């Protein structure tokens, strides 16, 4: 029986071999069927747009002129002539002080001056008569000298009374307390019937409002950058650099100004330098003390590379993007970031025109992986329009500065 079973071993091998091969082929087919396709990602071509990098600062508004109004003469307040918080012009009467004593003093001095002038005229005649008589030896030289002394005393008396009268007339004029500058007046610290003292009693305060200053501090590195750009304060003193300003409730930066002052030294404590911008306040909507956000150009205009912020990855060493290659394999690319512009990011280095990068699905892929790309736009039309409008506005504002005049 044993011999019978082993009689045809080759036949057994030949029958089983096709079965083994058939099993291997089925296994490979199943593996191929189970292999996942490359992950799908959204890719977009980088944008190339004209941009100007803008540096942001914060500051407070200050009035170019602030005046504390005090009386120049003492007396009782007779009337308050202004509406508190209103805009007044230089020369407008703010307060009047009871002037009756001052009027009486002017009247008295005018009378004394008239009398002294009469005495002077008489002294001049007496002296001239004495000179004529002295020539005929009718009077002594001592008498002539006495007449001359009388004339000189009369001249001095008239001069003193004229000075006193001028002072009295000034004091009378000062009973009307006038606004020294154009501006917005505060509340009245003193009301009718109160006694005020020369140079001591504060009546009210005034701030000029036709223009407003915004002070802010610039760090040393930025200051040196601006010096190279010559856009802080040009050597010829002409305003060239646009300063955009936004108040707390503003959308965008609607207020236009320019830099008119840069301090003469870096503060050693803070490492910053004080800079001042001027803004027109024709609408009277800017007030001293307001918080302001400020932007100034940190570069010349140039064609910049822009990408979506969500396309940027971060590792231990770099900010990076994944760039799509011709074979649909993504490659790691380290980048340097510039400032943000309307939700996009300026890329200072690492990308060029025509590059396509992964903008959605970055977490599903890694460098050197094949992907299934779905091309989309880097930004919608509204974002692009906003970027272009912002640049056009900046160019327009630069042109406006050529004709902007500050009184």
- Tell me, yes or no, whether 265 and 275 share the same domain: yes
Mean pLDDT, to the nearest integer, of 316-326?
Answer: 93
Contacts 24+ apart (CB under 8 A), 326-330: 327/370, 328/38, 328/370, 328/371, 328/372, 328/373, 329/368, 329/369, 329/370, 329/371, 330/41, 330/358, 330/365, 330/367, 330/368, 330/369, 330/371
pLDDT digits (tens, 9 = 90+) for 352-380: 999 999 999 888 899 999 999 999 999 98
**Taking 50 as the threshold, does the pLDDT of residue 405 lie above it?**
no
Let me know whether 197 and 167 are in one domain: no
Residues 349 and 381 in one domain: yes
More confident residue, 12 or 206: 206
DSSP per-residue string spanning 208-250: --SEEEEEEEEEHHHHHHHHHHT-SS-TT----SEEEEE-TT-
Looking at the 3D structure of the chain, how many domains does it have? 4
CA distance 328 to 245: 46
Average pLDDT of the segment spanning 23-31: 52
Judge if 150 and 219 occupy the same domain. no
C-alpha 376/C-alpha 325 separation (Å) is 16
Specify the pLDDT at position 41.
Answer: 93
CATH (domain of 198)? 2.40.50.100
Instruction: Decide if 24 is inside a domain.
Output: no
Q: Is residue 305 part of a domain?
A: yes
Gap between the Cα atoms of 292 and 215, Å rounded: 9
Q: What percent of the chain has pLDDT over 90?
A: 64
10 belongs to a structural domain: no
**Close Cβ partners of 298 (under 8 Å, ≥ 6 residues apart):** 52, 53, 54, 55, 222, 225, 226, 339
Residue 326 pLDDT: 86
Taking only the tens place, the pLDDT of each residue in 35-48 is 678 999 999 999 99
Residue 168 lies in a domain: yes
Whether residue 8 is predicted with pLDDT greater than 80 in this model: the reply is: no
**Residue 392's pLDDT band (cuts 50, 70, 90):** confident
Q: Give the integer Cα–Cα distance in Å for 66 and 213.
A: 12
CA distance 215 to 222: 16
Residue pLDDT, tens place only, 159-175: 999 999 999 999 999 99
Could you report the per-residue pLDDT of 210-256, keeping only the tens digit for each? Answer: 999 999 999 999 999 888 876 565 555 454 578 999 999 988 888 98
* CATH label of the domain that carries residue 165: 1.10.287.470
Per-residue burial over 127-160, b if 16 or more Cβ lie within 10 Å, else e, is beebeeebeeeebeeeebeebeebbeebeebbee
Co-location of 81 and 183 in the same domain:
yes
12 within some domain: no
Q: Which of 298, 314, 333 is the C-terminal boundary of a domain?
A: 298
User: Is 267 contained in some domain?
Assistant: yes
What integer is the mean pLDDT of 91-113? 97
The CA distance from 159 to 225, in Å, is 65
> What integer is the mean pLDDT of 324-350?
92
Confidence category of residue 31, pLDDT binned at 50, 70, 90: low
Is 143 found in the same domain as 232? no
- Report residue 333 CA to chain centroid gap: 38
pLDDT for position 139: 85
Domain that holds residue 169: 99-173
Instruction: Determine the pLDDT at residue 310.
Output: 92
Same domain, 219 and 165: no
Q: Please determine, for residue 28, whether its predicted confidence score (pLDDT) is greater than 60.
A: no
| 136-155 average pLDDT score | 90
Q: DSSP per residue over 257-318, as a string?
A: EEEEEE-SS-BTTTTEEEEEEEEE-TTS---TT-EEEEEEE-S--EEEEEEEGGG-EE-SS-
- The answer on 221 and 140 residing in a single domain is no
Query: In this predicted structure, what is the pLDDT of residue 340?
Result: 87
More confident residue, 398 or 141: 141
84 pLDDT band, cuts 50/70/90, is very high
Report the pLDDT value the prediction gives residue 391, as an integer from 0 to 100: 86
Q: What is the mean pLDDT of the chain?
A: 87
Q: Give the number of other CB atoms < 10 A from CB of residue 39.
A: 13
pLDDT, position 21: 45
Identity of the highest mean pLDDT range in 44-53, 90-99, 225-234: 90-99
Q: Is residue 20 part of a domain?
A: no
More confident residue, 20 or 404: 404
Assess whether pLDDT exceeds 90 at residue 307. yes
Ordered DSSP codes for 141-172: HHHHHHHHHHHHHHHHHHHHHHHHHHHHHHHH
**Secondary structure letter of residue 83 according to DSSP:** -
Residues 85 and 183 in one domain: yes
Going by pLDDT thresholds of 50, 70 and 90, the confidence category of residue 349 is: very high
Same domain, 74 and 202: yes
351 within a domain of the structure (yes/no):
yes
From the CB of residue 407, how many other CB atoms can be counted at a distance below 10 Å?
5
| CATH number for the domain harbouring residue 248 | 2.40.30.170
Share of the chain above pLDDT 70, in %: 87
User: Is the domain of 47 the same as that of 74?
Assistant: no
Give per-residue pLDDT as tens, 126-142: 889 988 888 888 888 89
CATH code where residue 370 lies: 2.40.420.20
């Amino acid at each position: 029986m044993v011999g019978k079973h082993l009689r045809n071993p080759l036949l057994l091998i030949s029958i089983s071999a096709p079965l083994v091969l058939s099993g291997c082929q089925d296994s490979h087919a199943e593996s191929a069927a189970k292999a996942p396709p490359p992950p799908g990602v959204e890719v977009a071509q980088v944008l190339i747009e004209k941009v100007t990098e803008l540096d942001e600062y914060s500051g407070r508004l200050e009035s170019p002129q602030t005046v504390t109004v005090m009386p120049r003469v003492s007396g009782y307040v007779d009337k308050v002539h202004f509406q508190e918080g209103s805009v007044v012009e230089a020369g407008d009467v703010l307060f009047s002080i009871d002037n009756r004593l001052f009027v009486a003093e002017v009247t008295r001095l005018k009378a004394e001056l008239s009398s002294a002038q009469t005495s002077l005229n008489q002294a001049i005649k007496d002296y001239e008569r004495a000179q004529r008589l002295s020539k005929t030896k009718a009077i002594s030289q001592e008498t002539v000298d006495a007449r001359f002394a009388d004339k000189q005393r009369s001249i001095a008396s008239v001069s003193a009374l004229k000075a006193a009268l001028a002072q009295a007339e000034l004091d009378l004029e000062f009973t009307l307390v006038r606004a020294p500058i154009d501006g917005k007046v505060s509340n009245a610290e003193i009301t009718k019937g109160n006694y005020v003292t020369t140079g001591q009693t504060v009546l009210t305060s005034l701030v000029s409002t036709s223009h407003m200053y915004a002070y802010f501090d610039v760090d040393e590195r930025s200051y040196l950058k601006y010096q190279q750009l010559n856009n802080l304060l040009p050597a010829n003193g002409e305003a060239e650099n646009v300063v955009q300003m936004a108040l707390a409730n503003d959308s965008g930066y609607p207020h236009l100004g320019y830099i008119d002052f840069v301090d003469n030294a870096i503060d050693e404590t803070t490492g910053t330098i004080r800079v001042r911008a001027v803004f027109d306040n024709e609408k009277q909507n800017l007030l001293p003390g307001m918080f302001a956000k400020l932007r100034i150009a940190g570069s010349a205009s140039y064609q910049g590379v822009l990408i979506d912020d969500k396309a940027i990855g971060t590792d231990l060493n770099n900010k990076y993007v994944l760039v799509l290659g011709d074979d649909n394999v993504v490659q790691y690319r380290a980048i340097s970031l510039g400032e943000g512009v309307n939700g996009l990011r300026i890329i200072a280095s690492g990308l060029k025109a025509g590059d396509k990068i992964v903008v959605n699905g970055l977490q599903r892929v890694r460098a050197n992986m094949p992907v299934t790309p779905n091309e989309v736009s880097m930004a919608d039309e509204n974002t692009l329009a906003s970027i272009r409008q912002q640049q056009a506005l900046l160019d327009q504002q630069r042109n406006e500065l050529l004709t902007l005049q500050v009184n």
